[in-house]
Amino acid sequence: MQLETRPLQLRLSTPFRISRGVEEVADNLLVTITHDGLSGYGEAAPSAYYGDTFATTRACLERFAEELGDDPFLIEDILARLDQAIGRSPAAKAAIDMALYDLVGKRLNLPLYRLLGLNPERSALTSFTIGLDTPERMAEKAARARDYPILKIKVGTRQDVENVRAIRAVSQATLRVDANAGWTVKEAIRTINALAEYGIEFVEQPIAPGDLEGLRLLRQQVPVPIIVDESCVSLEDIPRLVGCVDGINIKLMKCGGINRALKLIHAARAHHLQVMLGCMIESSLAITAAAHLTPLVDYADLDGNLLVGNDPCSGVRVVQGKLVLPEAPGLGVTLRA
């Protein structure tokens, strides 16, 4: 199998701010794996928060090209070789993983959801994210997002209650809030209890990821479920989170791809945890790969492509918030010229 990479620079329609910074451009990579006349596509969206950069991800992909072998169906063996070659680099592994699944689906002439035995009618509703801004501007963004029945509101500031109040005044959508670890435990208890009157569905990653006792205390003091993102990266994290949270957020770029995400989903279910599928800033390529798994989960936050002004791909569609999976073989993604 032959692997090629090229840069994939995604420009956000508007600057996207969360509690720990602002993003205007995402420097991703497009991966193509070719075998026996067919090509499979994958995408890497490196995150410095998890130790990935564009340069290190590209270097890892060049190293991983030597470990692919000549059988795209041997995904477990290939991923094991990648782990032996380099311990981390989850974004690079995710790109290779999804390209392999795309290639296998095309070889069998089956869309990924059918290859995995999943019902596309059970795909999830995705939330649409409102980044941090003034209360007035966040309310304006929420009003413009009226086609989405679920909104995810970024929080983690001193004006969180004002922001959510302003959004609720213009929107009857289901509201979820995500602090990206922006609160202390005391701030989280106080703020979540204040936000509860606005009917929030759950809170995502309220405090620092390593503070398990803080999460346990917080869960006892607030009336809404706690879902963690930064606290759950690998399979080994799940047993530690039992009793501390209500659910986990899985991202392909965080765990290393479709294969690892499936294992995380089943492990979470075995521990009676709810499951959400999330994303980084990604094109429709990586978003579609994750969307194929949504029949297995409770929640989806797969809107990274909806925030991008120059998406080079087409795949999954969103109709009134519902993720509509493509019927074409593999991931079902088309690359524009």
Percent with pLDDT over 90 in the chain = 94
Annotated binding residue 178: yes
Give 31's pLDDT tier (boundaries 50, 70, 90): very high
- Report whether 333 contacts 41 (CB < 8 A): yes
Annotated binding residue 52: no
Percent with pLDDT over 70 in the chain = 100
Known active-site residue 251: yes
pLDDT tens digits for 287-332? 999 999 999 999 999 999 999 999 999 999 999 999 999 999 999 9
Annotated binding residue 204: yes
pLDDT tens digits for 96-123? 999 999 999 999 999 999 999 999 999 9
Check 251, 254, 263, 322 and give the catalytic one.
Answer: 251
51 or 285, higher pLDDT: 285
Mean pLDDT (the chain) is: 96
Task: Give the pLDDT score at 19.
Answer: 72
**pLDDT at residue 198 above 80?**
yes
Task: Give the pLDDT score at 1.
Answer: 95
Check 93, 154, 254, 263 and give the catalytic one.
Answer: 154
pLDDT tens digits for 148-160? 999 999 999 999 9
pLDDT tens digits for 58-73? 999 999 999 999 999 9
Q: What is the mean pLDDT of residues 168-193?
A: 97
**What domains does the chain contain, in order, with CATH numbers?**
2-110 (3.30.390.10), 115-335 (3.20.20.120)
Find the helix or strand (DSSP H, E) in which 16 lies: strand 2-18
Give 22's pLDDT tier (boundaries 50, 70, 90): confident
Q: What is the mean pLDDT of residues 135-146?
A: 95
- Report whether 11 contacts 82 (CB < 8 A): no
The residues, any chain, with a CB within 8 Å of residue 268's CB and separated by 6 or more, are 238, 247, 248, 250, 274, 275
- Report whether 156 contacts 19 (CB < 8 A): yes
Known active-site residue 154: yes
Give 53's pLDDT tier (boundaries 50, 70, 90): very high
From the list 323, 325, 318, 326, the residue with the least C-alpha distance to 147 is 318
